Structure 1
Amino acid sequence: MGRKVLVLNQDYSALTICSVAKAFLLVYLKKADLVSESQTENLRSISQSFPMPTVIRLHKYVYLPYRGVMLTRQNIFRRDGHRCQYCGTSDDLTLDHVLPKSRSGKSSWDNLTTACKRCNSRKGDFTPEEAGMPLRQRPFKPSFIMFIRDFSGMIDETWLPFLTRKEKKVTD
């Protein structure tokens, strides 16, 4: 049961993704409502059958002052499709600073990219332009909604209406 469930805040904005087991527990404990369920699968106990959630909505609003995507090695790899941004291979991946750290390059979304060890070593202490190694895609910081929609793997069709909504700006 490796399926995932989209969790919505009380105002129907996308909040996070969780496991089916966690989503079922939230619905069963009446902490969330079932918004959408699988049309093909059910959860079964010895004597009962329950709908398998695909989207749930929390009863209480969860305030998140910062809704961004954390800068981690795995999130950089996800953003770049687990491919070297210089040659396209998916073997021996590591992170590369587009502007090298030795030349005041920061560890940030727009300066880190996925590279294989061979390309990273070949590029060395140069920028991609100086090394004659153009990037397949410039590094960027994904938005929270974009990250869930595009980089979290398989998404359920029932998620799409909630992932295309505009993110609200908090003005307090």
Structure 2
Amino acid sequence: MQVSATPRVLLLNASMEPLCIVSVHRAVVLLMSGKAAVVEEGGVLHAEHLSLPLPVVLSLTRYVHVPVRRSVPPTRRTVLQRDGHRCAYCGGVADTVDHVLPRSRGGRHEWGNVVAACMRCNHRKADRLLHEIGWSLLFTPHAPRWSLAFGQAAARAEPAWSPYLAA
């Protein structure tokens, strides 16, 4: 098989809700075993005695119960993604994260206390509170929904996934 166009495939539950992103190899195994069907294709995969549609989006043929999803942890990547790579203090391009209530003052590493920040604002704020330096946040930090953390970057990377990752 020759795979060049799409190295990843969006896997949907039978209810059309996004489950995960799988490799093309895993997608072909699911197709061949009859566990999934192609929803959107992006070409053809050729083997010696077989041609298959190149899946971009797959749907499971049977519904799989998914337990309550764990929340996405606030990592540097996910915080920058949630905040659109914009500094919460000045609106410039963010390249790091900052704790609104500094950890040295009892602040926790949780979604409501971590924001994206540019290096300049992060150093100027240091371990002080916002009211001590007369600053305010441009937005209120919050925990993203799982589908947003999973979907926004993926939808930019693969536009065909956008309708399945919305809401």
Classify the TM-score, shorter chain: 0.7 to 0.9
Q: Which residue of 1 aligns with 2:124?
A: 122
CA distance in 2, matches of 1:132, 1:155: 42
CA distance in 1, matches of 2:18, 2:86: 28
Q: Residue 126 of structure 1: CA displacement?
A: 2.2
**One-letter amino acid matched to 1:61:** Y
The answer to whether residue 108 in structure 2 is matched with residue 97 in structure 1 is no
- Gapped regions of structure 2 (runs ≥ 5): none
- CA distance 1:4–1:69, change in 2 (3 Å): farther
- CA distance 1:22–1:143, change in 2 (3 Å): same
The alignment's C-alpha RMSD in Å is: 2.7
Q: Residue 120 of structure 1: CA displacement?
A: 1.2
The answer to whether residue 144 in structure 2 is matched with residue 142 in structure 1 is yes
The answer to whether residue 163 in structure 2 is matched with residue 157 in structure 1 is no
Consecutive aligned runs of 4 or more in structure 1 exceeding 6 Å deviation: none
CA distance in 1, matches of 2:83, 2:37: 34
Q: Residue 143 of structure 1: CA displacement?
A: 0.9
Deviations 1:64-103 (A, max 9, x none): 322244213321122122343334225xx22211111223
CA contact (8 A) 1:7 1:16 kept: yes
CA contact (8 A) 1:6 1:159 kept: no
CA contact (8 A) 1:68 1:143 kept: no
After TM superposition, list the pairs within 5 Å mapping 1:70-109 onto structure 2: 70-71=72-73, 72-87=75-90, 88-90=92-94, 93-109=95-111
- Gapped regions of structure 1 (runs ≥ 5): 166-172
Q: Residue 158 of structure 1: CA displacement?
A: 5.3
TM-score norm. by structure 2 comes to: 0.76
Q: Which residue of 1 aligns with 2:52?
A: 50
Q: Provide the aligned length of Structure 1 versus Structure 2.
A: 160
CA distance in 2, matches of 1:132, 1:156: 42
**One-letter amino acid matched to 1:110:** G
Deviations 1:143-163 (A, max 9, x none): 122223324333433540x33
